[in-house]
Amino acid sequence: MSKKLKIGLFGFGVVGQGLHDIIRGQDLNLEIVKIAIKNPEKKRSLEAHLFTTNHDEILDNNEINTIVELIDDAEIAYNIVKKALISGKNVVSANKKMIATHLAELVELQEKHNTSLLYEGAVCGSIPIIRNLEEYYDNELLHGISGIFNGSSNYILSKIFNENLEYGVALKQAQDLGFAESNPILDVGGYDPKFKLAIATAHAYGLFIDPNKILNIGIQNLSEHDIKYAREKNFKIKLVPTARKISTKQIVTYVLPKFVKSDDFLYNVENEYNGVTVQAAFADKQFFFGKGAGGHPTGAAVLSDIAALRYDYRYEYKKYHQHNGLVHTDNVNIEVYLRYTHEYTLEKLQVDNIIERFSRNDYKYVIGNVSLKSLLANWNLLEQKDIFIAHTGRYTYTEQQILKVSEEEVIFN
């Protein structure tokens, strides 16, 4: 039998209101006791006595046994979640930056205080990818996980490629619809999908990776030249986070725009929808599809976590506790399309094996190989407005990298 949840809700924005809409009128054996808000002057749709601006009024309330955190400030969210776990309250959160940044500590706190932190709504909205990585793939060998993790950037790209909208117009539409973060660079710059990728990688491979060590290059520098090139090749451009096993013990992670072919699952993922591809050794390739932005889709994921807490569900972090010896690396070469202005860009990035080159006064690009290590070392350069880079989808290996992989296979097989 499920236990009654007495909920303290932090945040009543798009997702908080979406969650309340879903809960209202249903008999779910739960009650929202109090809601913490930032602006007491804002007109609300609920009775005034439900709201407070004092966080401790909720966190110190012994009647409340469950905290649902839905605010957009990662540091404040961290303080809320940490205090709640320490005080014995279970927590549901949708704050991907906070979770990705502090995940190792939050796992320790759960174990120490016998509490549970669930966060399905933090990764890909309505798609239950975390629960699947935890339960369905708990004993699987995963070759890779990638996809479209950000509904806002995908909405923008869809409008550009399908309706010929200009970038700025498409961005404004995404903001008006509530898909974009309050600071749009978090979406279009690849930060939001990077945090989601870090969380997914923890459950897929048992690796807690500092998000600052994951390369994220976004779509904010996309130009009409890049769009025209993609169309001529019958590609679409998507912003794709990737975690990939490149050898027996090595995992690479990055977020990059990618040229997607028509036979790729991601090609037809449009607007605010997300799509996740999991490549497994035994289950082979599987694809998850659903809305990745909006109050109701994310609210539905949050409610799923709340419902799971009624039965004392916890993430077990099985692959993390297996101590499988996997390590995070930047030791891989990828083939990229690189639009640039200055020739020194090619030198700094150490682009080699160039198979295609075009140059005129207003437009230069190459297709060639570059190491992930070099991209990380020149992160600031890649964010300059006259540069756009996209992954073609192909990987290449140096002789030294191939030798390293061969040595690992001898040792671990």
Tell me which of 285, 316, 347 is where a domain ends: 316
- Of 194, 196, 238, 404, the active-site residue reads 196
pLDDT at 393: 93
The answer to whether 218 touches 189, Cβ cutoff 8 Å, is yes
Q: Which is nearest to 197 in space by CA: 158, 150, 249?
A: 150
Is pLDDT above 60 for 271? yes
CA–CA distance, 198 with 196 (Å, rounded to integer): 5
410 in any annotated domain? no
Give a yes or no: residue 393 inside a domain.
yes
Quote the domain boundaries for residue 32. 5-125+297-316
Whole-number Å distance between alpha carbons of 380 and 365: 19
3-state helix, strand, coil in the chain (%, to 5): 40, 25, 35
Burial 337-353 (b: 16+ CB within 10 A, else e): bbbbeeeebbeebbbee
In contact, 157 and 171? CB cutoff 8 Å: no
Query: Are 211 and 280 members of one domain?
Result: yes
Quick: pLDDT tens for 314-364: 999 999 999 889 999 999 999 999 999 999 999 999 999 999 999 999 999
**Please, which pLDDT band fits residue 412 given cuts at 50, 70 and 90?**
very low
Q: CATH number for the domain including 11? A: 3.40.50.720
411 within some domain = no
348 and 383 part of one domain = yes
Q: Is residue 81 part of a domain?
A: yes
Average pLDDT rounded to a whole number, residues 43-55: 91
In the residue annotation, 34 being an active-site residue is answered as no
Q: 25 in a domain, yes or no?
A: yes
CA dihedral 185, 277, 99, 389 (to 10 degrees): -30
> At 166, which CATH number?
3.30.360.10
Same domain, 36 and 144: no
Same domain, residue pair 107 and 196: no
**Residue 27 lies inside a defined structural domain of this protein:** yes
pLDDT at 405: 52
Categorize the per-residue pLDDT at 285 as very low, low, confident or very high, splitting at 50, 70 and 90.
very high
Q: Are residues 96 and 240 in the same domain?
A: no
Same domain, 149 and 210: yes
Residues 291 and 289: their CA atoms lie apart, in Å, by: 7
Q: What average pLDDT does range 21-37 have in this prediction?
A: 90
185 and 173 fall within a common domain: yes
Report the domain count for the chain.
2
Residues 388 and 261 in one domain: yes
The verdict on residue 303 lying in a domain is yes
pLDDT at residue 403 tops 70? no
Domain end position, chosen among 283, 316, 349: 316
- Same domain? 57 vs 172: no
Both 89 and 142 in one domain: the answer is no
Residue 221 in any domain: the answer is: yes
Assess whether 87 and 148 both reside in one domain. Answer: no
Residue-wise pLDDT tens digits, 149-201: 999 999 999 999 999 999 999 999 988 887 776 688 999 999 999 999 999 99
Is residue 120's pLDDT more than 60?
yes
pLDDT at 402 over 60: no
- Angle of the 74-86 helix axis to the 96-113 helix axis, nearest 10: 10
Q: How confident is the model over 225-231, as a mean pLDDT?
A: 97
| Strand, helix or coil for residue 412 | helix
pLDDT band at 410, cuts 50/70/90? Answer: very low
**Does the pLDDT value for residue 411 go beyond 50?**
no
Q: What angle do CA 138, 142, 145 make, to 5 degrees?
A: 105
- Per-residue DSSP letters for 345-370? HHHHHT-EEEEEEEEETTEEEEEEEE
Domain boundary among 267, 284, 316: 316
Residue 177 and residue 31 share a domain: no
Burial level of 360, CB count in 10 A (0-12/13-18/19+)? exposed
pLDDT in tens, 130-155: 999 999 998 888 999 999 999 999 99
Contact 338, 345 (CB under 8 A): yes
Burial environment of residue 41 by CB neighbours within 10 A (0 to 12, 13 to 18, 19 or more): exposed
Say what the pLDDT of residue 404 is: 59
Q: Is the pLDDT of residue 382 over 70?
A: yes
